[in-house]
Structure 1
Amino acid sequence: MTAQRNVPVSLYPQLDEAALTRFVQALESGDTAGLSTERAAQATDARALAEVRRVQVPGAQGDELAGFLWKHGGSQERPVVVMPSPWTDLGWLAYAVQGTLFALNGYHVLAYTARGFGRSGGEVDVAGPLDVADAGHALDFLLERLGRPATRVGFVGDSYGSGISQLAAAHDTRVDAVAALSTWGDLGQAFYENDTRHIASVTVLRDAAANARLSARTEQAFEDVLHGRNIEETLQWAQERSPLTFVDRLNERSVPVFFAHAWHETLFPNNQTLQMFTSLTGPKRLDFSIGDHSCPEMSGIIGLPNRIWQDAHRWMDHHLKGESNGIDKEGQLLSQIMWSTALEASATWQASLGEPQRFYLGGGSGDGALLDKPENGWTRTIGVGTDTPATVADSIIKSGYAELAGDPKVYPTADISRSDAGVWVTAPLGRTTRLRGIPELHLNYASSSTGSLFIAYLFDVAPDNSAHIVTQAPFTRLDSTPDDRSGARVLLQATGYDVAAGHRLMLVVDTVDPFYAKAADKGNSLTVTSPEADPSYLDIPIVA
């Protein structure tokens, strides 16, 4: 009996595997039947190179990695691009079109499937030392096949391949430039944001690797996050898998790094990637987009026009080929602003930020107000353990595609239980208000239990009380003493958002979200207050 193939959760639900497979078959055979005119021409032109074919790449520990090679003939020295695969069984196939486009633009290209996935040997190391060694071996293999020097070397990767690409550049001085799409900087922060376990994202990563061969250490790390054990060990494990750990090595050589990220990224939240980006001192650029993990660049993976991939190509063309295409003069930041879809360029991340405007949390009956002056002496009790309609998203990644299509999730704010959440709102805004940066919440509260968790959400509320999410962040205190008051400082995820005139901003604080682990049992409570000596407030960065 033939074993049944598992059907893993896909991080690429809109990726057309059949279309990519047909394209690769055309690259290999020359039969372009069934392809679009454009794709057929690309396959035909690529076949005119000296070598376009599947290869087996010798990796670390003798493991072989499945790959695909685009190699030019002739004696001309050219730059090379290496493309480690995303977190998917499809492996290098995800780069079939983009690898071809790089090749047709004059690059030697090698795309390969990361260890443990698809037809590659070995076990999944989650961008660990073996993956870094594999990246070096892949570059060795490509250079040996050329039989002559390459002018310069670039690594390009999406998702999992983006982290490997950064780490490869940090460890291998031959790498001259990086393009990292939907990437991470600090894996520990991505898994444990504000001491809160990201159980939904870790579950999705594990389920997406259902057919992969996870190493025992990888299995342990995932299980430890999901069950809240061995936290310090897991953070140490994550540290050597975090590009931020090695940022000084990149800075020593001023390696040019291009990032692309989504505002509502759920796998690798914005702030930890921004920390990596702002720590870089060499040439750098960050493209922010509407959506979730890998959504903004997906159309480019399947071969459609896509500004993220276009900018990645321009980045490589400038830094590897010396082309004067202007990308170095457009500023370090390009942001697609929610929900206008307008693009804003800024010289730096700091130059894009608004000035923090302080809103103090008020008391009173009903919803509290967000005020320009402190209001003290009130308390508000929030029941613990019951979910509310306030949530990060309906689904990791899939909700991001709805946002890209202009159909973001609508939140019914009237259905948010005021017994199970604290709600504070501004007056209707008199003009379009431009939020740019990282909102910060200072919340004075006490928990009735040892250990507490809350999630802070910022919503844009229309006059009909329907809302869209602007940003959010969780906060966990594991060592709190029951009824001991303390102040929590919470950095919400960075945002670029325009709130229309007549809308209100709403802060919601509740204690349950399927994206995060629970910290206290149902029946407990949080008591929020705002004493004169330590008022509760929300700082929102607003551009004048």
Structure 2
Amino acid sequence: MRRILSTAAATLIAALCGSLLAPAATAETNGVTVHRASIPGSGGITLRAKVIEPTGESAEPRPLLVMPASWATPNIEYVGAAARLAYESGYVVVSYTARGFYASGGEVEVAGEEDVADASEVIDWAVANTSAGEENVGMAGISYGAGISALTAASDPRVDAIAAMSGWADLVASLYPNRTVNASGAELLLGVGELTGRFGADLTELENAYREHRTEEALHLAEERSPINKLDELNANGTAVMLANSWQDSLFPPKQITDLFSGLTGPKRLMLAPGDHATAELFGAAGLPNHIWDTAARWFDQQLRGVDEGMADSAVEIQPMNGSEWKRYPDWRSVTDHATTRELTEPGRRHLFAPETGGLSTERGPGWRHSIDSGDPTLANSGLVLVSGALQGYARIPVGVSVPLVDRDDAAVWATEPYADGVNVTGTPRLRVNVTPEDESVSLFAYLYDVGPLGNGSLISHKPVTLRNDSPGVRSRVDISLRPTSWQVAEGHRLVLVVDTVDGRYRDESSGGEVAFGSSAEQPATLRVPVG
């Protein structure tokens, strides 16, 4: 059922993109031409493309933008945004369907060497067959197109600037966070990929390893396709890199993007907004007003056309999950460095009818040990892949929970006192706690909620971790960086931390028995709360 639902959701989004963005096959409007092209790719295959080019003569070669389409999406995806870029700024834009999908030749290689070589071949073709030159070259894309853009920029020094939206920096951290399989994400990608593409050998190997619970055996294929492992090349090339992501991205969570951003030494910009995978920039791709795409246009104008847009060499823009105003910082450290550390105290009952709840205290307490059962779900969860994040992004409807109804036999819960003046949680929360599993493996899911006076909680952040093949009864020190977040906690609300052992989004590795949490003077259990 999960696979059917994930495939249906992905297919719906692909269909929506197509219906919103499809242009005429060949057209000339507002000083821009749009026409089909068949471009030779690496190894002799043919890539199907749309070429959007300003009309009229140009005294000098025009700047070039290459846009690889998203996973399972044809080249019509960006034509709306491309037409604006061509008309307003004079770019030649080539949007192409990645190899293995739809009418493009070859097989799906998951942003492998062939995909990178294809992008360079597209640049060669555009320079030879359009009014574009190779002196000012940029790449842009959403999701799969973002990853290919970043990897190509590391490989091809002709790429001067990129705008990578809803992409990945680290495929391992995205699909196997803390040794936990993101099953919903994997099913979504595989399901819609099988409907629209032809899998190559590497993707088939990845799928077989995933389905046979041998994920770690195929991780080397993900590592070599991760832009974060190409940092030296990106920095050596001096590529100007703009990254955009959503707080609740179901496929490529933002922490791996913030890690990539922090490692870049050239011109860089990071944007984080409410929503799920590709939702924050979806309508901008159609040419509609959109802050992320508008910023990308200014980014390319400054980096490729030499227009002074007043954009600093390093900047971060974030929009809170439950807010509308964009906030600006010089770098990611400025976003997340201000924090308070809360001590986890032993869960207990405050009165006869109260559920067991520990404190998130500003003071150090005595050592303690507290156990829950593993392998059973609770009301705490990360929401439905794509759906929950989209609701948060478009309608500001969060993933909710009634904290008093979370079963304390199957979950451990800690809470702050109510904030008298409210607080802005902005950055990366971090949990450190001692964990002793009774059996060989256990999956843990940490959730951070904003909880009102009646006990209704809104999910701020979450993260999984799986302890595998540890000797039963041996204590481990677990250090979890939750997803980066930006959330405005209202006056009179609390922060509540819930940890349980089952989440429908992830593959459950809990083998039963109890799991104990603990704190000691030498290794206190703490939650670092970023505030700003």
TM-score range, shorter chain: over 0.9
Structure 1 residues 66 and 279: CA distance shift in structure 2, 3 A:
same
Determine the structure 1 residue equivalent to 2:4.
Answer: none
Determine the structure 2 residue equivalent to 1:63.
Answer: 45
Give, in angstroms, the shift of residue 147 of structure 1.
6.5
Question: Match of 2:154, as an amino acid?
Answer: A
Determine the structure 1 residue equivalent to 2:178.
Answer: 194
Question: Match of 2:458, as an amino acid?
Answer: H
Structure 1 residues 8 and 368: CA distance shift in structure 2, 3 A:
closer
* Separation of aligned partners in 2, 1:321 and 1:58: 28
Q: Deviations over 1:199-224 (max 9, x none)?
A: 11111111121221111320221332
Q: What is the CA RMSD across the aligned residues, in angstroms? A: 1.8
**Which runs of no fewer than 5 residues in structure 1 stay unpaired?**
1-5, 30-42
What SS does structure 2 have at the residue aligned with 1:296? coil
Give, in angstroms, the shift of residue 351 of structure 1.
1.4
- On the 8 A contact 2:123/2:134 being kept in 1, the answer is no
Determine the structure 2 residue equivalent to 1:129.
Answer: 113
What SS does structure 2 have at the residue aligned with 1:430? coil
Residue in structure 2 matching 1:338, options 311, 321, 338: 321
Q: Deviations over 1:127-157 (max 9, x none)?
A: 1101001101111111110367344000011
Question: Match of 1:228, as an amino acid?
Answer: H
* Separation of aligned partners in 2, 1:451 and 1:374: 30
Q: Does 1:162 align with 2:151?
A: no
Determine the structure 2 residue equivalent to 1:217.
Answer: 202
Question: Match of 1:390, as an amino acid?
Answer: A
Report matched runs for 1:418-429 at 5 Å.
418-429=408-419
Q: Deviations over 1:279-322 (max 9, x none)?
A: 10000001110111111111212332100110111111110101
Q: Deviations over 1:374-394 (max 9, x none)?
A: 32343221111111121111x
Determine the structure 1 residue equivalent to 2:74.
Answer: 91
Q: Deviations over 1:89-116 (max 9, x none)?
A: x311111101111211201111000011
* Separation of aligned partners in 1, 2:461 and 2:20: 36
* Separation of aligned partners in 1, 2:507 and 2:530: 29
Q: What count of residue pairs does the alignment treat as equivalent?
A: 514
- On the 8 A contact 2:243/2:270 being kept in 1, the answer is yes
Structure 1 residues 377 and 75: CA distance shift in structure 2, 3 A:
closer
Of 377-386 and 423-432, more deviation after overlay is shown by 377-386
- On the 8 A contact 2:171/2:225 being kept in 1, the answer is yes
Q: Does 1:9 align with 2:7?
A: no
* Separation of aligned partners in 1, 2:132 and 2:409: 70
* Separation of aligned partners in 2, 1:435 and 1:234: 37
Report matched runs for 1:78-477 at 5 Å.
78-88=62-72, 90-104=73-87, 105-146=89-130, 149-211=133-195, 212-229=197-214, 231=216, 233-328=217-312, 332-363=315-346, 364-365=348-349, 366-393=356-383, 395-404=384-393, 405-477=395-467
Q: Deviations over 1:302-360 (max 9, x none)?
A: 3321001101111111101011122237x510000121222110011111224231111
What SS does structure 2 have at the residue aligned with 1:515? coil
* Separation of aligned partners in 1, 2:391 and 2:385: 11
- On the 8 A contact 1:438/1:493 being kept in 2, the answer is yes
Report matched runs for 1:488-503 at 5 Å.
488-503=478-493
Give, in angstroms, the shift of residue 422 of structure 1.
0.4
- On the 8 A contact 1:12/1:294 being kept in 2, the answer is no
Give, in angstroms, the shift of residue 87 of structure 1.
1.0
Q: Percent identity?
A: 34
- On the 8 A contact 1:354/1:436 being kept in 2, the answer is no
Structure 1 residues 514 and 333: CA distance shift in structure 2, 3 A:
same
Question: Match of 2:488, as an amino acid?
Answer: D
Structure 1 residues 227 and 198: CA distance shift in structure 2, 3 A:
farther
* Separation of aligned partners in 1, 2:68 and 2:489: 39
TM-score by length of 1: 0.91
- On the 8 A contact 1:84/1:164 being kept in 2, the answer is yes
* Separation of aligned partners in 2, 1:340 and 1:91: 33
TM-score by length of 2: 0.93
What SS does structure 2 have at the residue aligned with 1:55? strand
What SS does structure 2 have at the residue aligned with 1:370? strand
* Separation of aligned partners in 2, 1:321 and 1:122: 35
Q: Deviations over 1:477-508 (max 9, x none)?
A: 11311111221111111111111110000000
- On the 8 A contact 1:125/1:218 being kept in 2, the answer is yes
What SS does structure 1 have at the residue aligned with 2:431? strand
* Separation of aligned partners in 2, 1:307 and 1:438: 24
- On the 8 A contact 2:321/2:396 being kept in 1, the answer is no
- On the 8 A contact 1:180/1:259 being kept in 2, the answer is yes
